[in-house]
Amino acid sequence: MRRLSGYNPACHSNHLTMKKENSCPTPNGTLLIVGGHEDKTGIPETKVQKANYHPLEVLRTFIELTGKKQPAIELITTASSAGEETFADYEAAFRELALPVPGHIHHDKRTDVRDPDLSARLKNADGVFFTGGDQLKLTSLYGGTELLYILKQRYIGDGLVLAGTSAGAMAMSTPMIFAGNKESQQLTGEVKVTTGLEFLKDVCIDTHFVDRGRFVRMAQVIATNPTCIGLGIEEDTAVTIKNGNELEVIGSGTVIIIDGFQISDSNILEYGTGKTISIQDLNVKLLAKGDRYRIPRMNPPHL
Protein backbone atom coordinates (compact mmCIF):
# COMPACT_ATOMS: atom_id res chain seq x y z
CA MET A 1 0.00 0.00 0.00
CA ARG A 2 1.21 3.48 -0.86
CA ARG A 3 1.73 5.85 2.06
CA LEU A 4 1.26 9.57 1.54
CA SER A 5 2.13 12.27 4.05
CA GLY A 6 0.52 15.66 4.37
CA TYR A 7 3.48 17.10 6.24
CA ASN A 8 5.60 19.93 4.93
CA PRO A 9 9.16 19.03 6.08
CA ALA A 10 9.69 22.59 7.31
CA CYS A 11 6.64 22.29 9.54
CA HIS A 12 7.30 18.74 10.72
CA SER A 13 10.11 19.66 13.11
CA ASN A 14 8.00 22.42 14.60
CA HIS A 15 5.21 19.95 15.11
CA LEU A 16 7.49 17.57 16.98
CA THR A 17 8.82 20.38 19.16
CA MET A 18 5.39 21.68 20.08
CA LYS A 19 4.09 18.22 20.83
CA LYS A 20 6.24 18.17 23.99
CA GLU A 21 4.35 21.17 25.33
CA ASN A 22 0.86 20.44 24.00
CA SER A 23 -0.87 17.12 24.25
CA CYS A 24 -4.38 15.75 23.93
CA PRO A 25 -5.72 12.20 24.07
CA THR A 26 -5.36 10.06 20.98
CA PRO A 27 -8.78 8.61 20.07
CA ASN A 28 -9.14 4.89 20.60
CA GLY A 29 -12.11 4.84 18.24
CA THR A 30 -12.29 4.75 14.47
CA LEU A 31 -14.05 7.06 12.03
CA LEU A 32 -15.55 5.81 8.77
CA ILE A 33 -16.28 8.78 6.53
CA VAL A 34 -18.31 7.91 3.44
CA GLY A 35 -18.74 9.95 0.25
CA GLY A 36 -22.43 9.05 -0.12
CA HIS A 37 -24.39 6.52 -2.17
CA GLU A 38 -22.47 3.61 -0.69
CA ASP A 39 -23.64 0.32 -2.11
CA LYS A 40 -26.56 -1.05 -0.06
CA THR A 41 -27.90 -3.63 -2.50
CA GLY A 42 -24.92 -5.51 -3.88
CA ILE A 43 -25.58 -3.98 -7.30
CA PRO A 44 -23.35 -1.12 -8.53
CA GLU A 45 -25.27 2.14 -9.16
CA THR A 46 -22.80 3.51 -11.70
CA LYS A 47 -22.83 2.64 -15.39
CA VAL A 48 -19.04 2.30 -15.42
CA GLN A 49 -17.93 -0.88 -13.68
CA LYS A 50 -14.90 -0.06 -11.54
CA ALA A 51 -12.19 -2.58 -10.78
CA ASN A 52 -12.30 -1.58 -7.11
CA TYR A 53 -16.03 -2.24 -6.73
CA HIS A 54 -17.00 -4.92 -4.22
CA PRO A 55 -20.61 -5.44 -3.14
CA LEU A 56 -21.54 -3.79 0.18
CA GLU A 57 -17.86 -3.07 0.88
CA VAL A 58 -18.35 0.17 2.82
CA LEU A 59 -21.06 -1.17 5.13
CA ARG A 60 -19.19 -4.44 5.53
CA THR A 61 -16.10 -2.48 6.60
CA PHE A 62 -18.18 -0.57 9.15
CA ILE A 63 -19.15 -3.86 10.78
CA GLU A 64 -15.63 -5.30 10.60
CA LEU A 65 -14.18 -2.24 12.32
CA THR A 66 -16.23 -3.01 15.45
CA GLY A 67 -14.37 -6.31 15.83
CA LYS A 68 -17.62 -8.17 16.50
CA LYS A 69 -19.68 -10.55 14.38
CA GLN A 70 -22.98 -9.29 15.82
CA PRO A 71 -22.29 -5.71 16.96
CA ALA A 72 -24.85 -3.42 18.55
CA ILE A 73 -25.47 -0.70 15.94
CA GLU A 74 -27.38 2.57 16.26
CA LEU A 75 -28.48 4.28 13.06
CA ILE A 76 -29.09 8.03 13.31
CA THR A 77 -31.34 9.27 10.48
CA THR A 78 -31.92 12.76 11.92
CA ALA A 79 -30.36 14.50 8.90
CA SER A 80 -32.93 12.90 6.61
CA SER A 81 -36.38 14.35 5.90
CA ALA A 82 -37.61 10.77 5.41
CA GLY A 83 -36.22 8.97 8.43
CA GLU A 84 -38.36 5.84 8.25
CA GLU A 85 -37.63 5.24 4.56
CA THR A 86 -33.90 5.83 5.10
CA PHE A 87 -33.87 3.43 8.05
CA ALA A 88 -35.66 0.78 5.97
CA ASP A 89 -32.97 0.95 3.27
CA TYR A 90 -30.18 0.41 5.79
CA GLU A 91 -32.12 -2.24 7.68
CA ALA A 92 -32.35 -4.24 4.44
CA ALA A 93 -28.62 -3.80 3.83
CA PHE A 94 -27.71 -4.96 7.32
CA ARG A 95 -30.05 -7.91 6.90
CA GLU A 96 -28.11 -8.76 3.71
CA LEU A 97 -24.98 -8.78 5.90
CA ALA A 98 -26.70 -11.22 8.31
CA LEU A 99 -26.87 -8.67 11.12
CA PRO A 100 -29.60 -7.96 13.63
CA VAL A 101 -31.86 -4.95 13.12
CA PRO A 102 -30.00 -1.78 14.18
CA GLY A 103 -31.44 0.68 16.65
CA HIS A 104 -33.12 3.69 15.08
CA ILE A 105 -32.54 7.24 16.34
CA HIS A 106 -34.31 10.20 14.74
CA HIS A 107 -34.96 13.70 16.07
CA ASP A 108 -36.67 16.78 14.68
CA LYS A 109 -36.46 18.96 17.82
CA ARG A 110 -33.66 19.59 20.34
CA THR A 111 -36.04 18.94 23.23
CA ASP A 112 -36.51 15.36 22.02
CA VAL A 113 -32.79 14.66 22.37
CA ARG A 114 -33.02 14.67 26.20
CA ASP A 115 -33.90 11.01 26.59
CA PRO A 116 -32.18 8.96 29.34
CA ASP A 117 -32.92 5.70 27.49
CA LEU A 118 -31.07 7.10 24.48
CA SER A 119 -27.96 7.73 26.58
CA ALA A 120 -27.95 4.12 27.74
CA ARG A 121 -28.24 2.85 24.18
CA LEU A 122 -25.33 4.98 22.99
CA LYS A 123 -23.18 3.80 25.90
CA ASN A 124 -23.79 0.18 24.85
CA ALA A 125 -23.35 0.65 21.09
CA ASP A 126 -20.38 -0.83 19.23
CA GLY A 127 -20.98 1.39 16.20
CA VAL A 128 -23.03 4.49 15.39
CA PHE A 129 -23.89 5.48 11.81
CA PHE A 130 -25.13 8.92 10.69
CA THR A 131 -27.08 8.85 7.42
CA GLY A 132 -27.35 11.60 4.82
CA GLY A 133 -29.68 14.55 4.48
CA ASP A 134 -29.03 18.02 5.89
CA GLN A 135 -25.82 18.44 7.86
CA LEU A 136 -26.97 21.72 9.40
CA LYS A 137 -29.83 19.83 11.03
CA LEU A 138 -27.32 17.56 12.74
CA THR A 139 -25.21 20.40 14.16
CA SER A 140 -28.15 22.57 15.19
CA LEU A 141 -29.95 19.70 16.99
CA TYR A 142 -26.97 17.90 18.54
CA GLY A 143 -24.47 20.65 19.28
CA GLY A 144 -24.04 21.05 23.06
CA THR A 145 -26.13 17.97 23.92
CA GLU A 146 -25.38 14.98 26.11
CA LEU A 147 -25.79 12.77 23.03
CA LEU A 148 -22.81 14.43 21.36
CA TYR A 149 -20.82 14.41 24.60
CA ILE A 150 -21.35 10.66 25.03
CA LEU A 151 -20.34 9.97 21.43
CA LYS A 152 -17.14 11.98 21.84
CA GLN A 153 -16.28 10.34 25.14
CA ARG A 154 -16.80 6.89 23.68
CA TYR A 155 -14.92 7.71 20.47
CA ILE A 156 -11.94 9.00 22.43
CA GLY A 157 -11.91 6.49 25.28
CA ASP A 158 -13.85 3.33 24.40
CA GLY A 159 -12.99 2.49 20.80
CA LEU A 160 -16.42 3.37 19.38
CA VAL A 161 -16.71 3.08 15.59
CA LEU A 162 -18.40 6.22 14.32
CA ALA A 163 -19.53 6.42 10.70
CA GLY A 164 -21.26 9.01 8.55
CA THR A 165 -22.30 9.21 4.93
CA SER A 166 -23.04 12.27 2.78
CA ALA A 167 -24.37 14.94 5.21
CA GLY A 168 -23.57 12.60 8.10
CA ALA A 169 -19.95 12.60 6.97
CA MET A 170 -19.76 16.36 6.36
CA ALA A 171 -20.99 17.06 9.89
CA MET A 172 -18.03 15.21 11.43
CA SER A 173 -15.48 17.89 10.58
CA THR A 174 -14.68 21.50 11.35
CA PRO A 175 -15.20 23.63 9.32
CA MET A 176 -18.44 22.27 7.86
CA ILE A 177 -19.89 23.40 4.53
CA PHE A 178 -23.65 23.98 4.65
CA ALA A 179 -24.29 26.06 1.50
CA GLY A 180 -22.65 26.78 -1.85
CA ASN A 181 -23.98 24.94 -4.87
CA LYS A 182 -22.42 24.13 -8.22
CA GLU A 183 -23.76 27.32 -9.81
CA SER A 184 -22.40 29.73 -7.16
CA GLN A 185 -19.28 27.98 -5.84
CA GLN A 186 -16.93 29.86 -8.16
CA LEU A 187 -17.94 33.28 -6.73
CA THR A 188 -15.91 34.59 -3.79
CA GLY A 189 -17.74 34.33 -0.49
CA GLU A 190 -20.62 32.20 -1.78
CA VAL A 191 -19.58 29.05 0.09
CA LYS A 192 -21.00 29.06 3.63
CA VAL A 193 -19.37 27.23 6.54
CA THR A 194 -20.04 26.73 10.22
CA THR A 195 -18.71 24.61 13.08
CA GLY A 196 -19.28 20.89 12.61
CA LEU A 197 -19.49 18.19 15.28
CA GLU A 198 -15.67 18.26 15.51
CA PHE A 199 -14.70 14.63 15.50
CA LEU A 200 -12.04 15.86 13.07
CA LYS A 201 -10.60 19.32 13.66
CA ASP A 202 -8.99 21.45 10.96
CA VAL A 203 -10.40 19.14 8.30
CA CYS A 204 -13.25 20.03 5.95
CA ILE A 205 -15.16 17.07 4.51
CA ASP A 206 -17.16 17.21 1.29
CA THR A 207 -19.03 14.28 -0.23
CA HIS A 208 -20.34 13.28 -3.69
CA PHE A 209 -17.18 15.16 -4.54
CA VAL A 210 -16.39 14.01 -8.06
CA ASP A 211 -19.98 13.23 -9.01
CA ARG A 212 -21.28 16.73 -8.21
CA GLY A 213 -18.23 18.78 -9.17
CA ARG A 214 -17.43 20.23 -5.74
CA PHE A 215 -13.70 20.91 -6.09
CA VAL A 216 -14.03 24.70 -6.34
CA ARG A 217 -16.19 25.08 -3.25
CA MET A 218 -13.70 23.07 -1.21
CA ALA A 219 -10.85 25.22 -2.51
CA GLN A 220 -12.72 28.31 -1.30
CA VAL A 221 -12.98 26.87 2.20
CA ILE A 222 -9.26 26.09 2.30
CA ALA A 223 -8.40 29.59 1.08
CA THR A 224 -10.35 31.11 3.99
CA ASN A 225 -8.20 29.19 6.49
CA PRO A 226 -5.16 27.34 5.11
CA THR A 227 -4.62 25.64 8.48
CA CYS A 228 -7.33 23.23 7.35
CA ILE A 229 -7.11 20.51 4.75
CA GLY A 230 -9.94 19.52 2.42
CA LEU A 231 -11.10 15.93 2.17
CA GLY A 232 -13.29 15.31 -0.89
CA ILE A 233 -14.75 11.81 -1.20
CA GLU A 234 -16.38 10.22 -4.23
CA GLU A 235 -19.57 8.14 -3.98
CA ASP A 236 -19.29 4.49 -2.85
CA THR A 237 -15.92 5.44 -1.41
CA ALA A 238 -14.81 6.07 2.16
CA VAL A 239 -11.86 6.66 4.42
CA THR A 240 -11.13 5.05 7.73
CA ILE A 241 -9.35 7.23 10.28
CA LYS A 242 -7.54 5.64 13.19
CA ASN A 243 -5.58 7.31 16.02
CA GLY A 244 -7.18 10.59 15.02
CA ASN A 245 -5.10 11.16 11.88
CA GLU A 246 -4.18 7.89 10.12
CA LEU A 247 -6.31 7.76 6.99
CA GLU A 248 -6.81 4.87 4.56
CA VAL A 249 -9.05 4.78 1.47
CA ILE A 250 -11.59 2.01 0.84
CA GLY A 251 -14.30 1.58 -1.78
CA SER A 252 -14.51 1.95 -5.52
CA GLY A 253 -13.66 5.60 -6.16
CA THR A 254 -11.32 8.51 -5.56
CA VAL A 255 -10.48 10.65 -2.53
CA ILE A 256 -9.06 14.11 -3.18
CA ILE A 257 -6.91 15.89 -0.60
CA ILE A 258 -6.51 19.66 -0.92
CA ASP A 259 -4.14 21.64 1.28
CA GLY A 260 -3.35 25.32 1.23
CA PHE A 261 -0.20 25.47 3.33
CA GLN A 262 1.71 26.93 0.38
CA ILE A 263 -0.98 29.29 -0.96
CA SER A 264 0.83 32.35 -2.31
CA ASP A 265 -2.14 34.50 -3.29
CA SER A 266 -5.94 34.52 -3.51
CA ASN A 267 -8.79 36.99 -3.84
CA ILE A 268 -10.84 35.38 -1.05
CA LEU A 269 -11.08 38.75 0.75
CA GLU A 270 -13.03 40.21 -2.16
CA TYR A 271 -16.24 38.47 -1.09
CA GLY A 272 -19.54 40.06 -2.02
CA THR A 273 -18.15 41.55 -5.23
CA GLY A 274 -19.35 38.84 -7.62
CA LYS A 275 -15.77 38.09 -8.63
CA THR A 276 -14.65 34.62 -9.66
CA ILE A 277 -12.45 32.94 -7.07
CA SER A 278 -8.70 32.91 -7.73
CA ILE A 279 -6.22 30.89 -5.66
CA GLN A 280 -2.56 30.26 -6.38
CA ASP A 281 -0.47 27.24 -5.32
CA LEU A 282 -2.97 24.83 -3.85
CA ASN A 283 -1.58 21.33 -3.29
CA VAL A 284 -3.72 18.40 -4.48
CA LYS A 285 -3.43 14.64 -4.01
CA LEU A 286 -5.62 11.95 -5.56
CA LEU A 287 -5.91 8.77 -3.51
CA ALA A 288 -7.40 5.40 -4.43
CA LYS A 289 -8.25 2.24 -2.53
CA GLY A 290 -5.42 1.19 -0.24
CA ASP A 291 -3.67 4.56 -0.24
CA ARG A 292 -2.77 6.00 3.15
CA TYR A 293 -2.31 9.57 4.30
CA ARG A 294 -1.39 11.12 7.63
CA ILE A 295 -3.51 14.16 8.41
CA PRO A 296 -1.12 16.97 9.38
CA ARG A 297 -1.33 18.66 12.75
CA MET A 298 -0.58 22.30 11.97
CA ASN A 299 -2.64 23.66 14.89
CA PRO A 300 -1.26 22.43 18.26
CA PRO A 301 -3.93 21.21 20.71
CA HIS A 302 -4.81 23.50 23.61
CA LEU A 303 -7.57 24.22 26.07
Q: What CATH number is associated with residue 94? A: 3.40.50.880
From the list 31, 279, 47, the residue with the least C-alpha distance to 155 is: 31
Please give the model's pTM, rounded to 2 decimal places: 0.89
Q: Which domain holds residue 240?
A: 28-43+51-181+194-204+230-253+287-294
- Interstrand relation of 203-207 and 237-242 (parallel, antiparallel or unpaired): unpaired
Rounded Cα gap, residues 77 and 142, in angstroms? 13
Question: Is the residue at 142 inside a domain?
Answer: yes
Beta pairing class for 246-251 and 203-207: unpaired
Q: What pLDDT was estimated at residue 44?
A: 65
DSSP string, 79-132: T-S-HHHHHHHHHHHHHHTT-PPPEEE--SSGGGG--HHHHHHHHH-SEEEE-S
The answer to the question of residue 155 being in a domain is yes
Q: In the chain, how many domains are there? A: 1
Q: Is residue 275 part of a domain?
A: no
Look at residue 198 and tell me if it is in a domain.
Answer: yes
Predicted confidence at residue 186, as pLDDT, reads 80
DSSP 3-state assignment of 218?
helix
Calpha distance 116→113 (Å, rounded): 9
109 belongs to a structural domain: yes
What single letter denotes the amino acid at residue 74? E
Q: Is residue 276 included in any domain, yes or no?
A: no
Q: Mean pLDDT, consecutive 10-residue segments, the chain of 303 residues?
A: 48 40 79 96 69 90 96 97 96 94 96 90 97 97 96 96 98 89 77 93 95 92 94 97 97 96 94 91 97 91 71
Residue 271 counted as domain residue: no
Q: Is residue 15 part of a domain?
A: no
